[in-house]
């Protein structure tokens, strides 16, 4: 069975989505998967998050859906119970990482500094989220961190301020497994139910991944 790093590396770009109404979950996921992005991150910033993950899991077996913004053990438990395939956090909290390990949920904690990265690696996580990517120094900062940490085999999923204009630079770093991005699901398009527009954005993103990495 593939590990989460392999799954994310094949995807290349992971839409980070905020769902206010669980009825949006399945048509949104279908648009993203049809566009060529099969791995999704549903953030736990709304009350609809867990139900949305469950709907996608049950209604679209071809999607790999993770849970983002997991800040507490309770959120980790809710994400796992809803069927999330992996968890993501904006920062590194050893309590949350431990809870994910207990739940059997692959966890990708966030880091922005060398100290946080050291702690995450010591906790044995499969990879880290570099967040907020652009504000924390972007590709230059990732390369600086790699100067000290490359020997560890660390893998990154940068998120925050990434878009179609700069994602190529991030994905060109070998240790960047995937990039998280909100640009694939614009708030206005989701609010209007314009899933065709979202599918087109997903297709553009998937085409870039294929260009850089070959067939997904």
Say how far apart CA 159 and CA 216 lie, in whole Å: 20
Q: Tell me whether residue 126 is in a domain.
A: yes
Tokens of 132: 């907020």
Residue ranges making up the domain that contains 93: 4-207
Number of domains in the chain: 1
Q: State the catalytic residue, choosing from 10, 30, 80, 129.
A: 129
- Mean per-residue pLDDT of the chain: 96
Largest CA distance in the chain: 47
74 within a domain of the structure (yes/no): yes
Catalytic (active site) residue 129: yes
Q: 41, 80, 155, 199: which is the annotated catalytic residue?
A: 41
List the CATH number of the domain containing 179.
3.20.20.70
CA angle 137, 203, 205 (to 5 degrees): 10
pLDDT-derived band at 215 (thresholds 50, 70, 90) equals: low
pLDDT of 100 over the 80 cut: yes
Is the overall model pTM greater than 0.85, yes or no?
Answer: yes
Which residue is associated with the tokens 């966030």? 110
1 pLDDT tier (thresholds 50, 70, 90): very low
């Amino acid at each position: 069975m593939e590990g989460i790093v392999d799954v994310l590396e094949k995807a290349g770009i992971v839409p980070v989505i905020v769902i206010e109404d669980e009825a949006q979950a399945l048509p949104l996921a279908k648009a993203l998967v049809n566009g060529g992005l099969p791995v999704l991150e549903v953030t736990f910033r709304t009350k609809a998050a867990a139900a949305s993950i469950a709907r996608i899991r049950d209604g679209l077996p071809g999607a790999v859906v993770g849970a983002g913004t997991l800040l507490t053990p309770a959120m980790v438990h809710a994400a796992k119970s809803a069927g999330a395939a992996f968890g993501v956090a904006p920062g590194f909290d050893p309590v949350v990482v431990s809870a994910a390990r207990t739940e059997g949920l692959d966890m990708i904690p966030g880091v922005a500094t060398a100290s946080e990265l050291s702690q995450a690696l010591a906790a044995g996580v499969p990879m880290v989220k570099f967040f907020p990517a652009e504000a924390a120094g972007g590709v230059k900062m990732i390369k600086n961190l790699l100067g000290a940490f490359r020997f560890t085999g660390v893998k990154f999923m940068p998120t925050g301020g990434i878009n179609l204009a700069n994602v190529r630079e991030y994905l060109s770093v070998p240790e960047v497994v995937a990039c998280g991005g909100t640009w694939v699901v614009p708030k206005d398009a989701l609010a209007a139910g314009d899933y065709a527009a979202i599918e087109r954005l997903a297709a553009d993103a998937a085409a870039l991944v294929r260009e850089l990495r070959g067939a997904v």
